[in-house]
């Protein structure tokens, strides 16, 4: 059993790493891609944005499909879709084709992590799930540690090799996924809820596109523009329609019990807040440039202590979950995140403050996003809805990230930018993060989680 579980974890770890690396490695390649295909500065962010957008759209669809048709089939399909997207990007003659390939890549990657977390819930004993999820969570830290170096090395051969290298990696993973991963699927003929899923995809796509088009430097004017408010308004209109469709569906895209449980509602709130905190870290390089006058490249390297702290802390958080439950880990994570943000906001920024706050925030995020929320979702759901639940968790985290990208930029700009703007933004975020203590204190303790697990597995 241990040997089999280890093989499963290796396959899952490698698949998540492949998806995460394709966000991290592309940074060094941007100048080469931009020069080679004559892409404007205004359009270049879409190489990142479209990947994230289609990942978000894919997550609920792939999660639900894996609940119905089995983890092995859908995980393998996600890997193949990701590989096809890599081929499209690699062979791109123009910017439009690159965007199409990145969209396909994101669509494949979007299902990998929720399905991987669900596989852990299905196959790993509950007493060891925290450690397993912690290892999977550490993948993102590892990707951002080695990603720039891998991307820089492959650039010596040309930027297309950054995507070509995915193909043999994906081929090996598909082979082992077909041999090792479980293939359980729901018994009998199950009708898929296409109306509900299509509504959910439109809702997520319109909302994320609208939020993504907000210009932080002119926030109020931006949200009233035709690039923003119609899309957000459409997403809000769809919510009650989606709810009614789900209420009537015999096999809804999102089971409504996933939206009624107090434990899960607290978890979603924390996931949203953790997403807010996570995206704030993208402003660390800008803060370093403003505080120390370093180059953009040096500022990016100054993120290493934060990312390394996340990488080390994620598996530690998983082991603590196995011994003490998820509630304690989440509370520690929130306190560390708040402390790091207050340190940045209230103390004069020097190298000690910058790196110290970065480590606190990195560990805090690892204790929030690495394992505990995924552990709660696995504990609160049965096998038939586990991946859909994991996808729902991804949606709330990503929504927090989208809000943070718009909010942080607006807060920094409101104080004229520079150090005062960053201080104000981090201070507001610290107070917002403090609100997460309320739902965290209401979570189940270890004994209550064990009782829930026995009930769901009965």
pLDDT in tens, 179-238: 998 877 665 566 788 898 899 889 988 888 888 777 766 767 777 888 888 998 999 999
Give me the helices (H) in 91-228, please. 95-123, 126-155, 161-164, 166-180, 194-212, 219-223
For residue 3, pLDDT over 60 is answered with no
pLDDT for residue 2: 41
d(CA 333, CA 340): 11
Give residue 449's pLDDT. Answer: 87
Q: Is the dihedral of CA 191, 196, 198, 204 positive or negative?
A: negative
Structure tokens at 105: 């890549």
- Which of 379, 383, 332, 337 is closest to 360 using CA atoms? 337
pLDDT in the model for residue 186: 62
Would the pLDDT of 155 be above 70? Answer: yes
Unique residue bearing structure tokens 């718009």: 406
The more confidently predicted of residues 72 and 410 is 72
Q: pLDDT-based confidence at 310, cuts 50/70/90?
A: confident
| Mean pLDDT for all residues in the chain | 85
Q: Do domains 1-181 and 260-458 have the same CATH topology?
A: yes
| Neighbour-count burial of 100, counting CB atoms closer than 10 A to its CB (0-12 exposed, 13-18 middle, 19+ buried) | middle
Domain boundaries, the chain: 1-181, 198-250, 260-458
Query: Considering the domain 1-181 in this protein, what is its CATH number?
Result: 1.20.1250.20
CA atoms within 13 A on the CB side of 156: 6
Contact 129, 121 (CB under 8 A): yes
Q: 260-458 is classed in which CATH architecture?
A: Up-down Bundle (1.20)
């Amino acid at each position: 059993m241990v040997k089999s579980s280890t093989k499963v974890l290796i396959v899952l770890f490698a698949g998540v790493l492949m998806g995460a690396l394709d966000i991290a490695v592309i940074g060094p390649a941007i100048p080469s891609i931009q020069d080679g295909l004559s892409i404007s500065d205004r359009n270049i962010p879409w190489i990142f944005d479209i990947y994230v957008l289609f990942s978000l759209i894919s997550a609920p669809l792939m999660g639900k499909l894996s609940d119905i048709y089995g983890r092995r089939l859908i995980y393998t399909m996600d890997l193949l879709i990701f590989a096809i997207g890599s081929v499209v990007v690699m062979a791109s003659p123009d910017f439009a084709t690159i965007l199409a390939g990145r969209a396909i890549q994101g669509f494949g990657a979007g299902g990998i992590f929720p399905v991987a977390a669900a596989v852990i819930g299905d196959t790993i004993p509950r007493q060891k799930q925290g450690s397993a999820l912690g290892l999977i969570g550490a993948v993102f830290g590892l990707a951002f540690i080695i990603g720039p170096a891998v991307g820089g090395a492959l650039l010596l051969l040309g930027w297309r090799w950054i995507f070509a290298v995915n193909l043999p990696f994906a081929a090996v993973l598909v082979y082992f996924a077909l041999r090792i991963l479980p293939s359980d699927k729901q018994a009998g003929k199950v009708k898929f809820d296409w109306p509900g899923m299509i509504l959910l995809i439109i809702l997520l796509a319109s909302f994320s596109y609208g939020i993504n088009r907000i210009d932080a430097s002119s926030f109020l004017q931006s949200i009233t523009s035709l690039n923003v408010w119609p899309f957000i308004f459409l997403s809000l209109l769809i919510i009650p329609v989606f709810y009614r469709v789900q209420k009537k569906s015999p096999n809804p895209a999102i089971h409504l019990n996933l939206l009624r449980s107090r434990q899960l509602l607290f978890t979603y709130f924390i996931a949203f807040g953790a997403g807010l905190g996570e995206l704030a870290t993208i402003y660390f390089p800008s803060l370093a440039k403003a505080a120390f006058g370093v180059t953009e490249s040096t500022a990016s390297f100054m993120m290493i202590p934060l990312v390394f702290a996340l990488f080390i802390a994620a598996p530690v958080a998983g082991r603590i979950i196995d011994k003490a439950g998820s509630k304690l880990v989440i509370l520690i994570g929130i306190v560390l995140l708040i402390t790091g943000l207050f340190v940045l906001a209230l103390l004069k920024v020097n190298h000690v403050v910058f790196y110290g706050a970065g480590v606190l925030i990195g560990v805090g995020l690892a204790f929030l996003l690495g394992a505990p929320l995924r552990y709660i979702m696995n504990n609160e759901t049965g096998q038939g809805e586990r991946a859909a639940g994991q996808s729902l968790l991804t949606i709330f985290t990503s929504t927090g990230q989208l809000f943070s990208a718009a909010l942080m930029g607006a807060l920094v700009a409101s104080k004229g930018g520079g150090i005062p703007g960053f201080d104000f933004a981090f201070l507001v975020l610290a107070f917002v993060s403090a609100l997460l203590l309320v739902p965290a204190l209401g979570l189940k303790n270890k004994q209550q989680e064990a009782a829930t697990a026995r009930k769901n597995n009965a």
